[in-house]
């Protein structure tokens, strides 16, 4: 049982996923997609904050 667990966590001779993506040039696509998603999320949060601030001002008046 312990031996099976050790073999499952043993490093493989195949390259890691990031290495394979880097070699094929696809890592830049992954980084670009992550950047776009995070930028969109940041834009959404800033927009939501501005709307909430505007609503809070209206409620106070």
Q: What was the pLDDT predicted at 21?
A: 79
Report if residue 53 sits inside a domain. yes
The 8-class DSSP code of residue 25 comes to: T
Report if residue 26 sits inside a domain. no
First to last CA, the chain: 69
Contact criterion met (CB below 8 Å) for 38 and 44: no
Q: Hunting for tokens 């501005």 — which residue is that?
A: 50
Q: What was the pLDDT predicted at 37?
A: 99
- Is 90 exceeded by the pLDDT of residue 55? yes
Q: What was the pLDDT predicted at 16?
A: 80
Range of the domain at 59: 32-61
The total domain count for the chain is: 1
pLDDT in tens, 5-48: 655 665 666 668 878 877 888 889 999 999 999 999 999 999 99
Report if residue 11 sits inside a domain. no
């Amino acid at each position: 049982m312990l031996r099976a667990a050790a073999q499952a966590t043993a490093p493989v001779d195949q390259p890691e996923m990031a290495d394979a993506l880097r070699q094929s040039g696809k890592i830049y696509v992954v980084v670009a997609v992550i950047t776009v998603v995070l930028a969109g999320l940041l834009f959404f949060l800033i927009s939501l904050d501005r709307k909430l601030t505007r609503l809070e001002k209206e409620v106070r008046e």
